[in-house]
Structure 1
Amino acid sequence: MTENWHQNLKNKNREELIAAAKELFMKQSFLKVNIKDVCNVAGVSRVTFYKHFQSMNELIFEVQMEILESMTEFVRRAPSAEMSGKEMLTLMLDAWIDYAWQHPEYIKFILLFDLHYEAYDSNQELKEQYKNFVSREKERHFLMDALEVGFQDGSLKSDTEPLKTAHFIFTSMMGILQKMSLTSKDDWNNELDDIEIANRFAGMLIQYLSPKSDKSSTF
């Protein structure tokens, strides 16, 4: 029981450090946050911090991975199994835009992380760990189920490669959503314009992937 208690406390401290870092990163650039700031918000000591993370860079990487997993899981849960592949993909893209609308700070963090990734003074082991994480996520891409179902049921055209298509959609959608995340919350008109652009782009993707007989002249 004592061992379990210590393990639970250790897990709790790690979760609190990640939550504290995420809270601070969403308010200001993660490049301006230091270990002392995170420890103060988490209510733990620097000694406890170093029991879980070797550096701030490791914690930044951890937050990036958690946000990506949270985002993809949100999108993955949007459709239901009885839908056609096209319906599944449509709902997933809609959910993705909704997620970005609800959490622009997360999308902005992903953007800033990507921009500064190569500049990090982090060790090779940490970079390799993140590279492996990205590779695993690409191999089991969260859009693959919808695409494969669509190719099989005929609701999406089958002359495309599922994995390459999934990567293309991810890169394209993230570019649109990251642009949307940079719009000031005070500028409502532009923000609504950005959402409309994201919705239109999602519609264009669905149209492009639809069989020729199923396409309309809307776009």
Structure 2
Amino acid sequence: MTENWHTNLKNKNREDIITAAKELFVKQSFLTVNIKEICTLAGISRVTFYKHFQTMNELVFEVQIEILEDMTGFVRRAPSAGMNGKEMLSSMLKGWIDYASQHPGYIRFVLLFDLHYEAYGSTKELREQYEQFISREKERHFLLEALETGANDGSLKRDAEPVKTAQFIFTSMMALLQKMSLIPGSEQHSGLEEIKIADRFAGMLLQHLSVD
């Protein structure tokens, strides 16, 4: 067996653990999921689990980061070539709502993570790694390109602090989408009425930021 085979197997095992954890975390609170359940669903042993994650908290943090990266990646890909800044931002906000509608469980997970983050008995190293991730994401915020493009092409107001504006949009949009994810019956998709409310809020943000 080659070294590449072992590396690929190791990577697959890690991916299988994260995938199993994500599935269980979406179905139930991650506070109630145990390592045995994750190992059973992933088809791996506890020994294999501990080769990748020292604690459950470490895995929870990993899932949080993966979901945030998946969500922001989805939103980044929403604009089409040739759009002005306002059109880019509009398509990104719509894409964000679509993502939340398709994955309400992911949005609920982020909400629960945020609520319990300070209560974790996690290590200082884990906290520092997560804070570094958040800091990097703020600096290269996924909404910055649309805001800066809009300021340059005149479709959006010029902003002296675009990073703070991007962060405000993120915080307010996530609060609304998290509220949507808690509505009974949203396990598969958010309802049409909730989507209309989110669309209306996105429209208000665009109107506030638009030049015209």
TM over 0.5: yes
Displacement of 1:195 in angstroms is: 1.5
**1:193 counterpart = 2:189:** no
1:100 aligned residue: 100
C-alpha contact (below 8 Å) 2:86/2:155 kept by paired residues: yes
Q: Normalized against structure 2, the TM-score is what?
A: 0.96
C-alpha contact (below 8 Å) 1:184/1:191 kept by paired residues: no
Amino acid at match of 2:27: K
**1:5 counterpart = 2:19:** no
Give the alignment's Cα RMSD to 1 decimal: 1.4
Displacement of 1:148 in angstroms is: 0.5
CA separation in 1, counterparts of 2:191 and 2:171? 21
Give 5+ residue unaligned stretches, structure 2.
Answer: none
Amino acid at match of 1:157: K
Displacement of 1:73 in angstroms is: 0.3
Amino acid at match of 2:63: V
Report the CA distance shift for 1:111/1:44 in structure 2 as closer, same or farther (over 3 A). same
Report the CA distance shift for 1:159/1:72 in structure 2 as closer, same or farther (over 3 A). closer
1:203 aligned residue: 203
1:44 aligned residue: 44
Deviations 1:70-107 (A, max 9, x none): 00000000002310000000000000001010000000
CA separation in 1, counterparts of 2:115 and 2:191? 23
**Number of residue pairs aligned between Structure 1 and Structure 2:** 210
Displacement of 1:193 in angstroms is: 2.6
Displacement of 1:191 in angstroms is: 3.3
Report the CA distance shift for 1:116/1:109 in structure 2 as closer, same or farther (over 3 A). same
C-alpha contact (below 8 Å) 1:35/1:56 kept by paired residues: yes
CA separation in 1, counterparts of 2:44 and 2:193? 43
Tell which has more relative contact order, 1 or 2 (C-alpha 8 A, sep 6+).
2
C-alpha contact (below 8 Å) 2:105/2:181 kept by paired residues: yes
Amino acid at match of 2:9: L
1:183 aligned residue: 183
1:157 aligned residue: 157
CA separation in 1, counterparts of 2:14 and 2:159? 46
2:90 aligned residue: 90
Displacement of 1:39 in angstroms is: 0.4
2:114 aligned residue: 114
CA separation in 2, counterparts of 1:77 and 1:115? 29
Deviations 1:1-41 (A, max 9, x none): 71111000000000000000001001100000011110000
Q: Percent identity?
A: 72
CA separation in 2, counterparts of 1:78 and 1:24? 28
Displacement of 1:203 in angstroms is: 0.2
Amino acid at match of 1:110: V
* Secondary structure, counterpart of 1:118 in structure 2: helix
Deviations 1:124-183 (A, max 9, x none): 101111111111111100000111100000000114421111001000000010000001
CA separation in 2, counterparts of 1:69 and 1:129? 15
Give 5+ residue unaligned stretches, structure 1.
Answer: 215-219
